[in-house]
Amino acid sequence: MNIKILGTGCSKCKTLEKLAKEVVDENKINAEISKVEDIVQIMQYGIMTTPALVINEKVAISGRVPSKDEIKNLIEKFAHA
């Protein structure tokens, strides 16, 4: 599974990255997490507000920091999509 955090480095982007890593570690999810800070690459996903969570190349959420439970649910949902 591939998880990307899209954001230019703001505090919300860093929080989302931290929470995503915690969810993956706590639930022993086999996933590679990467951070995308390049605005051109971020724009290719068609999002207008960051941070964004991309799971297996599909935008799961953007514009806010979800809770850890919501991140876990999104990972489970998009893992099987």
Kindly report, residue by residue over 47-66, the tens digit of the pLDDT: 989 999 999 999 999 999 99
Task: State residue 81's pLDDT score.
Answer: 66
Tell me which residues are annotated as active site: 10, 13
Task: State residue 80's pLDDT score.
Answer: 74
**The pTM is what?**
0.94
Task: State residue 45's pLDDT score.
Answer: 96
If we measure between CA atoms, which residue out of 69, 72, 52, 67 comes closest to residue 8? 52
Burial of 48 (0-12, 13-18, 19+ CB in 10 A): exposed
* Dihedral-angle region of residue 28 (phi above 0 means left; psi in -120 to 50 means alpha; beta otherwise): left
Task: State residue 48's pLDDT score.
Answer: 87
How is domain 2-79 classified at the CATH fold level?
Glutaredoxin (3.40.30)
- The residues of the chain scoring below 50 in pLDDT are none
